[in-house]
Amino acid sequence: MRIAVFAGDGIGPEVVGEAVRVLEALDLPGLDLIEGDVGGAAYRKHGHPLPAETLEIARSCGAILFGAVGDFDLDHLERHLRPEQAVLGLRKELGLFANLRPATVFEGLEDLTTLRAEVASTIDLLIVRELNGDVYFGEKGRRTTPDGRREGYDIMSYAEDEVRRIAHTAFTAARGRGGKLCSVDKANVLETSQLWRDVVIEVAAEYPDVELSHMYVDNAAMQLVKNPGQFDVIVTGNMFGDILSDQASMCVGSIGLLASASLAEGTFGLYEPIHGSAPDIAGQGLANPMATILSAAMLLRHSYQLEAEAARIEAAVAKALTAGVRGGDLGGKAGTREIGDAVLANL
Ligand code: IPM
Ligand code: MG
Protein backbone atom coordinates (compact mmCIF):
# COMPACT_ATOMS: atom_id res chain seq x y z
CA MET A 1 0.00 0.00 0.00
CA ARG A 2 2.20 2.75 -1.28
CA ILE A 3 0.32 6.02 -0.83
CA ALA A 4 1.54 9.48 -1.81
CA VAL A 5 0.87 12.20 0.74
CA PHE A 6 0.79 15.69 -0.75
CA ALA A 7 -0.17 18.13 1.99
CA GLY A 8 0.31 21.38 0.06
CA ASP A 9 -0.47 24.84 1.35
CA GLY A 10 -2.28 26.63 4.15
CA ILE A 11 -4.14 24.25 6.42
CA GLY A 12 -3.16 21.32 4.15
CA PRO A 13 -0.32 19.99 6.35
CA GLU A 14 -2.41 20.21 9.53
CA VAL A 15 -5.46 18.38 8.22
CA VAL A 16 -3.43 15.81 6.31
CA GLY A 17 -1.43 15.16 9.49
CA GLU A 18 -4.59 13.99 11.26
CA ALA A 19 -5.70 11.83 8.34
CA VAL A 20 -2.28 10.18 8.35
CA ARG A 21 -2.64 9.39 12.06
CA VAL A 22 -5.96 7.74 11.30
CA LEU A 23 -4.50 5.66 8.46
CA GLU A 24 -1.58 4.60 10.63
CA ALA A 25 -3.89 3.60 13.47
CA LEU A 26 -5.58 1.02 11.25
CA ASP A 27 -2.51 -1.22 11.07
CA LEU A 28 -2.87 -1.74 7.35
CA PRO A 29 -0.44 -4.35 6.05
CA GLY A 30 2.34 -2.83 3.95
CA LEU A 31 1.22 0.76 4.44
CA ASP A 32 3.93 3.04 3.09
CA LEU A 33 3.35 6.79 3.02
CA ILE A 34 5.56 8.87 0.73
CA GLU A 35 5.48 12.65 1.10
CA GLY A 36 5.82 15.05 -1.81
CA ASP A 37 5.66 18.81 -2.36
CA VAL A 38 2.80 20.49 -4.22
CA GLY A 39 1.37 23.96 -4.68
CA GLY A 40 2.86 27.13 -3.30
CA ALA A 41 4.99 25.11 -0.89
CA ALA A 42 6.54 23.30 -3.86
CA TYR A 43 7.00 26.53 -5.79
CA ARG A 44 8.93 28.03 -2.88
CA LYS A 45 11.17 24.98 -2.61
CA HIS A 46 11.58 23.89 -6.24
CA GLY A 47 10.35 26.83 -8.34
CA HIS A 48 7.36 24.85 -9.64
CA PRO A 49 3.94 23.97 -8.13
CA LEU A 50 4.14 20.42 -9.50
CA PRO A 51 7.83 19.41 -9.59
CA ALA A 52 8.90 16.37 -11.61
CA GLU A 53 9.86 14.56 -8.37
CA THR A 54 6.33 14.91 -7.10
CA LEU A 55 4.82 13.57 -10.30
CA GLU A 56 7.21 10.66 -10.12
CA ILE A 57 6.17 9.86 -6.56
CA ALA A 58 2.52 9.99 -7.65
CA ARG A 59 3.19 7.59 -10.52
CA SER A 60 4.91 5.12 -8.19
CA CYS A 61 1.96 4.99 -5.78
CA GLY A 62 -1.49 3.42 -5.77
CA ALA A 63 -3.27 6.52 -4.53
CA ILE A 64 -2.72 10.10 -3.40
CA LEU A 65 -3.90 11.69 -0.19
CA PHE A 66 -4.04 15.40 -0.94
CA GLY A 67 -4.44 18.43 1.31
CA ALA A 68 -5.00 21.75 -0.44
CA VAL A 69 -3.21 24.19 -2.71
CA GLY A 70 -3.56 27.94 -2.96
CA ASP A 71 -1.58 30.86 -1.66
CA PHE A 72 -2.67 34.48 -2.16
CA ASP A 73 0.95 35.63 -1.99
CA LEU A 74 1.67 33.76 -5.23
CA ASP A 75 -1.33 34.97 -7.23
CA HIS A 76 0.86 37.42 -9.11
CA LEU A 77 2.82 34.58 -10.73
CA GLU A 78 2.27 33.58 -14.33
CA ARG A 79 -0.64 31.15 -14.54
CA HIS A 80 1.48 28.03 -15.10
CA LEU A 81 3.39 28.68 -11.86
CA ARG A 82 0.40 29.31 -9.61
CA PRO A 83 -0.30 26.80 -6.81
CA GLU A 84 -3.61 25.66 -8.38
CA GLN A 85 -1.64 24.25 -11.31
CA ALA A 86 -0.50 21.41 -9.04
CA VAL A 87 -3.96 19.94 -8.80
CA LEU A 88 -4.85 20.72 -12.42
CA GLY A 89 -1.55 19.14 -13.53
CA LEU A 90 -2.07 16.00 -11.46
CA ARG A 91 -5.60 15.62 -12.83
CA LYS A 92 -4.35 15.88 -16.39
CA GLU A 93 -1.07 13.97 -16.11
CA LEU A 94 -2.61 11.08 -14.19
CA GLY A 95 -5.87 10.91 -16.16
CA LEU A 96 -7.98 11.66 -13.09
CA PHE A 97 -11.14 12.25 -15.08
CA ALA A 98 -13.90 11.48 -12.59
CA ASN A 99 -14.47 13.64 -9.55
CA LEU A 100 -16.89 12.24 -6.99
CA ARG A 101 -18.22 14.75 -4.51
CA PRO A 102 -20.81 13.36 -2.13
CA ALA A 103 -22.94 15.79 -0.11
CA THR A 104 -24.93 14.43 2.81
CA VAL A 105 -26.17 16.02 5.99
CA PHE A 106 -24.67 14.42 9.07
CA GLU A 107 -27.14 13.55 11.78
CA GLY A 108 -27.40 16.30 14.33
CA LEU A 109 -25.92 18.93 12.03
CA GLU A 110 -29.13 19.91 10.24
CA ASP A 111 -29.06 23.28 12.00
CA LEU A 112 -25.80 24.35 10.34
CA THR A 113 -27.12 24.82 6.85
CA THR A 114 -28.35 28.17 5.58
CA LEU A 115 -31.34 26.30 4.13
CA ARG A 116 -34.28 25.41 6.33
CA ALA A 117 -33.36 22.28 8.30
CA GLU A 118 -36.26 20.28 6.87
CA VAL A 119 -35.03 21.03 3.33
CA ALA A 120 -31.37 20.36 4.08
CA SER A 121 -32.09 17.09 5.85
CA THR A 122 -33.31 15.63 2.53
CA ILE A 123 -29.87 16.06 0.89
CA ASP A 124 -28.11 12.84 0.00
CA LEU A 125 -26.51 13.34 -3.36
CA LEU A 126 -23.36 12.67 -5.29
CA ILE A 127 -21.93 15.04 -7.86
CA VAL A 128 -19.91 13.30 -10.56
CA ARG A 129 -17.84 16.02 -12.20
CA GLU A 130 -15.75 15.48 -15.33
CA LEU A 131 -12.23 16.71 -14.58
CA ASN A 132 -10.08 16.43 -17.68
CA GLY A 133 -11.84 18.48 -20.29
CA ASP A 134 -14.14 21.44 -20.86
CA VAL A 135 -13.20 25.10 -20.77
CA TYR A 136 -10.58 24.26 -18.11
CA PHE A 137 -8.26 22.53 -20.55
CA GLY A 138 -9.25 24.05 -23.88
CA GLU A 139 -7.04 26.45 -25.76
CA LYS A 140 -6.81 29.70 -23.84
CA GLY A 141 -5.05 32.96 -24.31
CA ARG A 142 -5.08 36.66 -25.01
CA ARG A 143 -5.33 38.37 -28.36
CA THR A 144 -6.18 41.67 -29.88
CA THR A 145 -9.35 42.16 -31.88
CA PRO A 146 -9.04 43.69 -35.37
CA ASP A 147 -10.15 47.02 -33.91
CA GLY A 148 -7.48 46.93 -31.22
CA ARG A 149 -9.35 45.74 -28.12
CA ARG A 150 -7.72 43.27 -25.71
CA GLU A 151 -9.55 39.95 -25.64
CA GLY A 152 -9.27 36.84 -23.49
CA TYR A 153 -10.57 33.43 -24.61
CA ASP A 154 -10.95 29.91 -23.24
CA ILE A 155 -12.36 27.30 -25.57
CA MET A 156 -15.02 24.93 -24.28
CA SER A 157 -15.11 21.51 -25.90
CA TYR A 158 -15.88 17.89 -25.14
CA ALA A 159 -15.10 14.91 -27.33
CA GLU A 160 -17.63 12.07 -27.31
CA ASP A 161 -15.30 9.56 -25.65
CA GLU A 162 -14.71 11.98 -22.77
CA VAL A 163 -18.45 12.28 -22.21
CA ARG A 164 -19.04 8.55 -22.60
CA ARG A 165 -16.40 7.68 -20.01
CA ILE A 166 -17.76 10.00 -17.31
CA ALA A 167 -21.33 8.94 -18.16
CA HIS A 168 -20.40 5.31 -17.46
CA THR A 169 -18.90 6.34 -14.11
CA ALA A 170 -22.07 8.23 -13.22
CA PHE A 171 -24.52 5.52 -14.34
CA THR A 172 -22.55 2.95 -12.38
CA ALA A 173 -22.58 5.17 -9.30
CA ALA A 174 -26.34 5.72 -9.66
CA ARG A 175 -26.86 1.98 -9.93
CA GLY A 176 -25.07 1.55 -6.59
CA ARG A 177 -27.16 4.27 -4.90
CA GLY A 178 -30.71 5.45 -5.51
CA GLY A 179 -30.88 4.52 -9.21
CA LYS A 180 -31.41 8.11 -10.43
CA LEU A 181 -29.10 10.17 -12.60
CA CYS A 182 -29.55 13.82 -13.55
CA SER A 183 -27.26 15.09 -16.30
CA VAL A 184 -26.68 18.84 -16.03
CA ASP A 185 -25.79 20.90 -19.08
CA LYS A 186 -26.61 24.09 -20.96
CA ALA A 187 -27.84 22.44 -24.15
CA ASN A 188 -30.24 25.30 -24.88
CA VAL A 189 -27.23 27.51 -25.64
CA LEU A 190 -24.01 25.50 -25.97
CA GLU A 191 -23.12 23.05 -28.73
CA THR A 192 -20.70 21.34 -26.34
CA SER A 193 -23.66 20.65 -24.07
CA GLN A 194 -25.84 19.36 -26.91
CA LEU A 195 -23.20 16.77 -27.75
CA TRP A 196 -22.88 15.99 -24.04
CA ARG A 197 -26.61 15.35 -23.82
CA ASP A 198 -26.70 13.23 -27.01
CA VAL A 199 -23.88 11.00 -25.74
CA VAL A 200 -25.37 10.62 -22.25
CA ILE A 201 -28.62 9.46 -23.87
CA GLU A 202 -26.70 6.92 -25.97
CA VAL A 203 -24.93 5.54 -22.90
CA ALA A 204 -28.26 5.34 -21.03
CA ALA A 205 -29.30 2.47 -23.29
CA GLU A 206 -26.84 0.27 -21.37
CA TYR A 207 -28.41 1.20 -18.01
CA PRO A 208 -32.16 0.62 -18.40
CA ASP A 209 -32.42 0.26 -14.61
CA VAL A 210 -31.23 3.85 -14.01
CA GLU A 211 -33.74 6.66 -14.36
CA LEU A 212 -32.10 9.43 -16.42
CA SER A 213 -33.16 13.08 -16.47
CA HIS A 214 -31.60 16.24 -17.91
CA MET A 215 -31.47 19.70 -16.42
CA TYR A 216 -30.05 23.03 -17.53
CA VAL A 217 -27.36 24.24 -15.16
CA ASP A 218 -29.16 27.43 -14.16
CA ASN A 219 -32.22 25.45 -13.18
CA ALA A 220 -30.01 22.90 -11.39
CA ALA A 221 -28.51 25.71 -9.28
CA MET A 222 -32.03 26.75 -8.36
CA GLN A 223 -33.29 23.22 -7.69
CA LEU A 224 -30.30 22.52 -5.43
CA VAL A 225 -31.57 25.08 -2.94
CA LYS A 226 -35.28 24.66 -3.66
CA ASN A 227 -35.67 20.89 -3.53
CA PRO A 228 -32.27 19.19 -3.16
CA GLY A 229 -33.87 15.94 -2.05
CA GLN A 230 -34.88 15.25 -5.67
CA PHE A 231 -31.26 14.52 -6.62
CA ASP A 232 -29.45 11.22 -6.30
CA VAL A 233 -26.48 11.39 -8.69
CA ILE A 234 -25.70 14.48 -10.78
CA VAL A 235 -23.29 14.19 -13.69
CA THR A 236 -21.88 17.30 -15.28
CA GLY A 237 -18.89 18.89 -16.99
CA ASN A 238 -15.82 20.36 -15.37
CA MET A 239 -16.93 23.98 -15.06
CA PHE A 240 -20.55 23.42 -14.04
CA GLY A 241 -19.38 20.74 -11.62
CA ASP A 242 -16.91 23.10 -10.00
CA ILE A 243 -19.67 25.58 -9.26
CA LEU A 244 -22.47 23.19 -8.31
CA SER A 245 -20.28 21.15 -5.98
CA ASP A 246 -19.40 24.23 -3.92
CA GLN A 247 -23.06 25.12 -3.84
CA ALA A 248 -24.04 21.62 -2.72
CA SER A 249 -21.43 21.74 0.04
CA MET A 250 -22.96 24.89 1.47
CA CYS A 251 -26.44 23.39 1.25
CA VAL A 252 -25.30 20.81 3.79
CA GLY A 253 -23.68 23.62 5.75
CA SER A 254 -20.34 22.09 6.50
CA ILE A 255 -17.58 22.50 3.97
CA GLY A 256 -15.19 21.14 6.61
CA LEU A 257 -16.85 17.74 6.34
CA LEU A 258 -16.89 17.07 2.64
CA ALA A 259 -14.48 14.64 1.05
CA SER A 260 -13.85 13.98 -2.61
CA ALA A 261 -12.26 11.44 -4.90
CA SER A 262 -10.70 12.09 -8.30
CA LEU A 263 -10.44 8.80 -10.10
CA ALA A 264 -8.54 7.48 -13.10
CA GLU A 265 -9.48 4.36 -15.05
CA GLY A 266 -8.75 1.41 -12.77
CA THR A 267 -8.15 1.93 -9.07
CA PHE A 268 -5.81 4.93 -8.99
CA GLY A 269 -7.22 8.06 -7.38
CA LEU A 270 -6.48 11.33 -5.65
CA TYR A 271 -8.43 12.06 -2.49
CA GLU A 272 -8.87 15.51 -1.05
CA PRO A 273 -11.16 17.59 1.13
CA ILE A 274 -13.18 19.97 -1.00
CA HIS A 275 -12.35 22.99 1.15
CA GLY A 276 -9.27 24.87 0.07
CA SER A 277 -6.09 25.98 1.80
CA ALA A 278 -7.87 28.51 4.10
CA PRO A 279 -4.81 30.74 4.55
CA ASP A 280 -6.65 32.87 7.12
CA ILE A 281 -6.56 30.08 9.71
CA ALA A 282 -3.46 28.21 8.56
CA GLY A 283 -0.85 27.13 11.08
CA GLN A 284 -3.05 27.79 14.11
CA GLY A 285 -4.40 24.30 14.72
CA LEU A 286 -7.94 25.54 14.07
CA ALA A 287 -8.86 23.70 10.87
CA ASN A 288 -11.33 20.84 10.95
CA PRO A 289 -9.54 17.73 9.62
CA MET A 290 -12.72 15.68 9.23
CA ALA A 291 -13.06 16.23 5.47
CA THR A 292 -9.50 14.98 4.98
CA ILE A 293 -10.05 12.03 7.30
CA LEU A 294 -13.18 11.19 5.31
CA SER A 295 -11.13 11.52 2.11
CA ALA A 296 -8.75 8.91 3.50
CA ALA A 297 -11.79 6.66 3.97
CA MET A 298 -12.73 7.17 0.32
CA LEU A 299 -9.14 6.29 -0.61
CA LEU A 300 -9.35 2.96 1.20
CA ARG A 301 -12.71 2.21 -0.40
CA HIS A 302 -12.00 3.17 -4.02
CA SER A 303 -8.31 2.46 -4.47
CA TYR A 304 -7.93 -0.56 -2.15
CA GLN A 305 -11.46 -2.00 -1.86
CA LEU A 306 -11.16 -1.81 1.94
CA GLU A 307 -14.83 -1.18 2.53
CA ALA A 308 -14.85 -2.27 6.19
CA GLU A 309 -11.94 0.03 7.11
CA ALA A 310 -13.52 2.93 5.20
CA ALA A 311 -16.80 2.42 7.01
CA ARG A 312 -14.95 2.28 10.32
CA ILE A 313 -13.41 5.68 9.72
CA GLU A 314 -16.73 7.15 8.66
CA ALA A 315 -18.44 5.77 11.73
CA ALA A 316 -15.68 7.17 13.97
CA VAL A 317 -16.18 10.64 12.48
CA ALA A 318 -19.96 10.41 12.77
CA LYS A 319 -19.64 9.34 16.38
CA ALA A 320 -17.38 12.29 17.20
CA LEU A 321 -19.91 14.63 15.63
CA THR A 322 -22.79 13.10 17.53
CA ALA A 323 -20.78 13.51 20.73
CA GLY A 324 -20.57 17.24 19.98
CA VAL A 325 -16.96 17.43 18.76
CA ARG A 326 -17.15 20.39 16.38
CA GLY A 327 -14.57 22.53 14.69
CA GLY A 328 -14.91 26.25 14.13
CA ASP A 329 -16.50 25.65 10.72
CA LEU A 330 -19.35 23.92 12.55
CA GLY A 331 -19.73 26.63 15.15
CA GLY A 332 -17.67 24.74 17.73
CA LYS A 333 -14.32 25.23 19.43
CA ALA A 334 -12.48 21.94 18.86
CA GLY A 335 -9.05 22.32 17.29
CA THR A 336 -7.39 20.20 14.62
CA ARG A 337 -5.55 17.88 17.01
CA GLU A 338 -8.47 17.55 19.40
CA ILE A 339 -10.75 16.47 16.53
CA GLY A 340 -8.12 14.01 15.32
CA ASP A 341 -7.85 12.61 18.85
CA ALA A 342 -11.62 12.21 19.10
CA VAL A 343 -11.82 10.33 15.80
CA LEU A 344 -8.90 8.10 16.81
CA ALA A 345 -10.53 7.35 20.14
CA ASN A 346 -13.73 6.25 18.38
CA LEU A 347 -11.76 4.17 15.92
C1 IPM B 1 -11.82 22.51 -7.09
C2 IPM B 1 -11.03 23.78 -7.12
C3 IPM B 1 -10.11 23.73 -8.32
C4 IPM B 1 -10.96 23.69 -9.56
C5 IPM B 1 -9.09 24.89 -8.38
C6 IPM B 1 -8.23 24.95 -7.14
C7 IPM B 1 -8.24 24.84 -9.60
O8 IPM B 1 -11.88 24.87 -7.15
O9 IPM B 1 -11.19 21.43 -6.97
O10 IPM B 1 -13.03 22.56 -7.19
O11 IPM B 1 -11.41 24.73 -10.06
O12 IPM B 1 -11.21 22.59 -10.04
MG1 MG C 1 -13.93 24.39 -6.93
Condensed to tens digits (0 to 9), the pLDDT of residues 307-339 reads 999 999 999 999 999 999 999 988 899 999 999
The pLDDT score that the predictor gives to residue 104 is 87
Q: In angstroms, rounded to a whole number, what is the distance separating the alpha carbons of residues 65 and 56? A: 15
What is the residue with the minimal CA distance to atom 10 of ligand 1? 242
The pLDDT score that the predictor gives to residue 301 is 95
- Per the DSSP assignment, residues forming a β-bridge with 151 are 143
The pLDDT score that the predictor gives to residue 246 is 87
Identify the band that residue 162 occupies on the pLDDT scale cut at 50, 70 and 90.
Answer: very high
pLDDT at 26 over 80: yes
Task: Please report, as a single letter, which amino acid is at residue 8.
Answer: G
The pLDDT score that the predictor gives to residue 110 is 79
Q: Which atom of ligand 1 is nearest to the CA of 99?
A: 9
Ligand 1 pocket by Cβ (under 6 Å): 84, 87-88, 242
- Residue 198 CB neighbour total at 10 angstroms: 12
Q: Which domains does the chain have, with CATH numbers?
A: 1-97+264-347 (3.40.718.10), 101-257 (3.40.718.10)
Q: In angstroms, rounded to a whole number, what is the distance separating the alpha carbons of residues 150 and 145? A: 6
Question: In the predicted model, what is the mean pLDDT of residues 232-252?
Answer: 94
Report the percent of the chain where pLDDT is more than 90: 89
Identify the band that residue 296 occupies on the pLDDT scale cut at 50, 70 and 90.
Answer: very high
Q: In angstroms, rounded to a whole number, what is the distance separating the alpha carbons of residues 289 and 266? A: 28
**How many angstroms is it from 229 CA to the middle of ligand 2?**
22
Q: What is the pLDDT of residues 173-203, one digit of tens each?
A: 999 999 999 999 999 999 999 999 999 999 9
Q: What is the dihedral of CA 197, 122, 306, 272, to 10 degrees?
A: 70
Identify the band that residue 114 occupies on the pLDDT scale cut at 50, 70 and 90.
Answer: confident
